[in-house]
Amino acid sequence: MQSTPTAPVTVTTKQPLVEVHENESAVLSCEFQTQADPTPRIEWKKRTETSVHFIYFRKEFLEDLVGRATIEGATITIQKVTQMDAAVYHCEVSASQDTVSLGETNVTLRVLVPPNTPSCEVPSSALTGTRVTLRCWDRQSVPPATYSWFKDNKLLSVNRASNTTYALDPRAGTLEFNPISRADSGRYHCEASNGVGVPKSCKGNHIHIDDVDVSAVVVGVVLVTLLLALCSLVGCYTYRQGYLSRECRPPWAVGRRRSGKWMQPDASSTRLTPVHVSPRLSPCVSLSAEGRRGR
């Protein structure tokens, strides 16, 4: 007896990558062939970076595709696409009567977005000899924008001449001067483009380049040095005079210490008698002990 040849359900797409502009229609192709099942089950899923969920299930569209999408066979058409529709779509066909009952294919939908007006970061002033970086960016364009820089409305070449001091990165949107000079003074602005729609430019800003005032720097260093020297002399003098001593002054002492001794008045005369106080015993401690013995 000759066996009947079997073939699995097959699912393919004519266009695995679909690129459309915002508000246009996107056709997500899904074609299938079954061995025996004339009415297979068709399902579509949407996969984003954070989730996977049904958009077509049990012959009905779900969520925001209700009233905005149609299906013919297994191919779906989405009307007025937005950036929220950009994702990988998964077409799955189940034929329960076939030997191999499941087939699937993927279609990536990319929604093209023209550049918005880019943001640019251009300082208003800089000092000669320093490193200065200008920045330009647009986070919304799809595909990502590339950037051009202009000085006084003249395009700066990416392939710069050997005598220039700047480096330009069209993908990162940076323009770097290392070092910057007075010849680099001027008005700078950037332009974002991605091949979708019209390129957009930022307002830009004028950079004024100043020379470093060497004489002012030297004067500043000299003044700081003199101030530090003066503070050191004052501190040394006050310490030697006993103003900064940590030792407590006894209540019977008169005047300042002389040669490490406090001066005490003599009861039998008008003279001052030097009294030695041991450095191991603070006068405050000694006085406190005398007070306790007096009680």
pLDDT digits (tens, 9 = 90+) for 13-38: 999 999 999 999 999 999 998 887 78
The reply to whether CATH 2.60.40.10 applies to domain 10-112 is yes
- Domain regions of the chain by residue span: 10-112, 119-210, 214-244, 248-295
Give pLDDT, residue 165: 82
pLDDT higher than 80, residue 268 = no
Decide if pLDDT at 98 tops 80: no
> Is residue 245 over pLDDT 80?
no
Distance of CA 260 to the CA centre of its chain: 63
Asked whether the beta carbons of 148 and 159 are under 8 A apart, the reply is: no
Given this chain, do its domains 10-112 and 119-210 carry the same CATH topology?
Answer: yes
Phi, psi for 217 (deg, rounded to 5): -65, -45
Average pLDDT over residues 118-141: 95
Superfamily for the 119-210 domain: Immunoglobulins (2.60.40.10)
What is the arithmetic mean of pLDDT over 81-92? 95
Backbone angles phi, psi at 225, to 5 degrees: -60, -45
Peptide bond into 118 cis (omega under 30): no
User: Looking at beta carbons, which pairs linking 1-9 to residues 24 or more positions away fall under 8 Å?
Assistant: 6/35, 6/99, 6/100, 7/33, 7/35, 7/99, 8/35, 8/98, 8/99, 8/100, 8/103, 9/33, 9/34, 9/35, 9/37, 9/40, 9/93, 9/94, 9/95, 9/98, 9/100, 9/101, 9/102, 9/103
Q: Is the pLDDT of residue 284 over 80?
A: no
Higher-pLDDT residue of 188 and 259 is 188
- Does residue 71 have a pLDDT over 80? yes
Phi, psi at 17, each rounded to 5°: -125, 120
pLDDT at 173 over 80: yes
Residue 237: what pLDDT? 67
The pLDDT score that the predictor gives to residue 219 is 58
Q: Which two tokens stand for residue 66?
A: 């209700």
